[in-house]
Structure 1
């Protein structure tokens, strides 16, 4: 067993990381699907979307060959509608609410139709919004992820001049750096950022990190308002012996490296254990398999009933050949010569429900041992607690406290997205950005 790169040939990498949700190949295919829609009154699909996209309306516009109108309907509610069509867990949102499910029929492929309209808009560079004349107001946004970009576009449409400070060299946040490459490519993310900023009035300053290159005091002094949208990103540690042996890495860094380098340069083990069962864990496991790992095992301390990922995501891992071990919690990492060789896990049973409402895992006293040469930790992400505390922003263990959806305790400072909620879906961050923009416009007495 060994950790190495370049397991596969170039064509194998291309195949393994090709689009997992291919678009409609023809206009006729899109029209046929659009005409399946029942165009429900008081549609449940719209209610289940955090950004409240008018799903029946945009599908009807596709059915009547009004693609510009369809894209405008989508982008009016969700400026990242193109990206969300690729990464949203639609099976628990719009498509999961489709009335066809209650008729025991296949739900409308809402995401695929959304992708059809929005990608046409991006490919043709349709500018569907006209920016109002500048108000003279200036807003700083920290973070060019979904919440920050959504807030920026909403403000810019109203004539507010926006400057985004982004610590990475590219925008997009989680979309660019934290999602499986077979769902959305970095190239698409760059195109989406460029499309969003093409409205004008949005300047992104890259490689500018809060607390290093800029300070809250500077932003308060130079801008009329500030929106914090820097997300989360610190990997939660396991706090077990052997955790720092060579070969034990966190999923955030693993996916980041994969998103920013050629696939052939990414080292992966032959026998990989992934700890966790959230979306990040699934992405890490499936990509390890697609990079050439022979054996990938996902371990979760609870049962399938309590898992945070969707069944759809779990099925992707299963189809890729990943193994699943339920009721297993890491106890110790063993190694030889400083390199990981085994993972010892406690076998668990479920006890009484905890604060989250899920039954708590309790050790049975028995253990299992897996032979591994690589362990990927995907036990969750933690907020930037030190950063938040150093700027005297009220918070709950690093998650910024807000009232009225985006107001912080500091005058003129607003916040939203993962740095507030601790980490949800991209579509939730987009809605948070819209909420933040509304609060800022109220604060600046715009409209």
Structure 2
């Protein structure tokens, strides 16, 4: 808070007699208002970004796409948006398609009409980068030390990317033939086009000084001790590849009872081309939706040879011939879930699509027992209606029924495979991590992704970004830096001013140092609270925003009669004009988007536009405090909550 004139005392500064009083009319002007406050421009984090586990500067790249934030000279806005997007997440084409978008749930625009289609714009950025062949910049190496990354999934690839941007080389170990982890082997190709996925993976490898060793299982083919000798740090990003079985009698050892993870991996490898006649999947999350959607697309073959049964393929004993697809017919597929439809953890539109494709969904039921024949194969799954008691499902007596099944799939969770790595097992089949993503009591070992706790792809990507920073501190023998309260990739006004050639001049301690309103060595009347505050909708002037329907992507969702053999990509990306229009719906929460309301409505003409050759994002308007009377109209009409009445007595 500024010091009032009455409280001001002469300090070490030298003043002539009679020149220690302000000569302006502020005291007389300020009596026109009771707040005695003047505007300060305060940057805060928008809730979309606060909800993003990767910590993307979502508002930033939306501002670029819509044309508010201008790229530096010589850079096309498409590429500039790509670079801002990938500052946090190197997979825009992938995440724009498959991320369940917690950012959209958090979007303040939900209070006006509908959220901004952040995923759709991110897909546009990623697809444009793919079409234009944008590459990642690779700075020179800053150290001769090298990091082993165990696991080439989203966490491992993100870590390699962020380490390389910091000038650190790495080597990725993966026990599969191809990199990508769950993006490659867990998500169907009609949701994640393999052309785009492989391109985004290769773009990281092309940065150089990222070695790849596929088909290598750490703990079997190479020991932890060997890694410790060869590398200066190790990041564990091995994911969770083992599916949990159903905790019911009859499950263990039954050949046609399999996990959802194994089912999807066999399909994504190209081995599984048909499924069973009657498939029952127990789940309710996104993995279970993928299982039943794939099962409907694969269909079944009547009188299937026993050696070609799905479980034989899934367990790796055989592989289907592509010619089999010509004879397949529709399969009967059922998904069961403990919770009501509105409480299922699967994304709402994924559930809707599965129903459209002909999947039967039974809610508020639980498995009780696997029914088997004399050969020991499952022929059905006994179910019962259920209720929750202390968070656990309890069957309701007398409601039992049997679902006939030739294949039963459990998609109720995943666990880690720590065979050969038992020293890292925390007793739950996972690895422990501290706040810096270090493995406790194991110096030089770091961890990220599902092996900490199974969650979203975007969560793994964000954790790896922080782990890369922690690894850099470790390699440099530096103490770990305390993480900010809002731990995200934030807009940085000083960096933007430097980019635009408008950086403040060097401070020279001369003359009258009271105030900075006319000084060019400081950023005038700006405060950055982005690392500690997320701006909520009640801090915005929502009346500024008119109703504008969302520009939605097209979708190819086959009906029940069309789904068999339908493997076309699901989403049809937005054309450029619509992507820009959708980005234009962003309310730019917490940062000026140049609407001019404060300039137009200021009764004293105290708020003014910064000169064009001195303006950039975050420095579009300023205040002449010799005119301001503290009426706070500018703050009231600011749509983005960027103006606080905070300067003054």
* Pairwise CA distance, 1:56: 2.3
TM superposition shift of 1:41? 6.8
Please state if 1:88 is matched with 2:99. Answer: yes
Is 1:180 equivalent to 2:191 in the alignment?
no
Pair 1:446–1:74, CA change in 2 (3 A) = farther
Question: Any idea what SS the aligned residue of 1:420 has?
Answer: coil
Write the distance in 1 (CA, Å) between the matches of 2:213 and 2:45: 42
2:378 to 333, 337, 340: 340
- When structure 1 is superposed on structure 2, of 238-247 and 364-373 the one drifting more is 238-247
Q: Structure 1-normalised TM-score?
A: 0.83
Structure 1 residue 446: Cα displacement = 7.8
The equivalent of 2:264 in structure 1 is 255
Q: Conserved in 1, the CA contact under 8 Å of 2:93 and 2:122? A: yes
Is 1:131 aligned with 2:139? yes
- 2:290 paired residue among 259, 262, 283: 283
Of structures 1 and 2, the one scoring higher in RCO (CA 8 A, sep 6+) is 2
Q: Within the alignment, does 1:413 sit opposite 2:445 as a pair?
A: yes
Give the structure-2-normalised TM-score. Answer: 0.58
Deviation at 1:241? 3.5
In the alignment, does 2:392 pair up with 1:360? yes
Rg (Cα) greater in structure: 2
Q: Which moved more, 1:332-341 or 1:362-371?
A: 332-341
Name the counterpart of 2:339. 302
Give, in whole Å, the separation in 2 of the partners of 1:278 and 1:237. 15
Q: What's 1:155 paired with?
A: 163
Deviations 1:308-357 (A, max 9, x none): 223222222222221121232222222334433221123312222xxxxx
Q: Which has the higher helix share?
A: 1
What RMSD in Å do the two structures reach over aligned CA positions? 2.0
Q: How does 1:26-425 map to 2 (within 5 A)?
A: 42-64=45-67, 66-90=77-101, 93-105=102-114, 107-243=115-251, 244-261=253-270, 265-292=272-299, 293-336=330-373, 337-352=375-390, 359-366=391-398, 367-389=400-422, 392-393=423-424, 395-408=426-439, 409-421=441-453, 423-425=454-456
Residues 138 and 224 of structure 1 are in contact (CA less than 8 Å); yes or no, is this contact kept in structure 2?
Answer: yes
Q: Distance in 1 between matches of 2:466 and 2:51?
A: 17
SS of equivalent to 2:179: coil
Equivalents in 2 of 1:95, 1:349: separation in Å?
Answer: 31
Stretch deviating more after TM superposition (108-117 or 119-128)? 119-128
Q: Which runs of 5+ in 1 are unaligned?
A: 1-39, 353-358
Query: CA–CA distance in 2 between the matches of 1:446 and 1:82?
Result: 36
Aligned residues: 394
Task: Give the direction of change, closer, same or farther, for the CA distance of 1:246–1:397 in structure 2 (3 Å limit).
Answer: closer
Higher strand fraction (1 or 2)? 1
* Alpha-carbon distance between aligned partners in 2 of 1:385 and 1:215, rounded to the nearest angstrom: 13
SS of structure 2 residue aligned to 1:419: coil
Query: Deviation at 1:192?
Result: 1.5
Q: Distance in 2 between matches of 1:57 and 1:49?
A: 14
Partner secondary structure for residue 87 of structure 2: helix
With over 3 angstroms needed to count, the CA separation of the structure-2 counterparts of 1:417 and 1:294, relative to structure 1, is: same
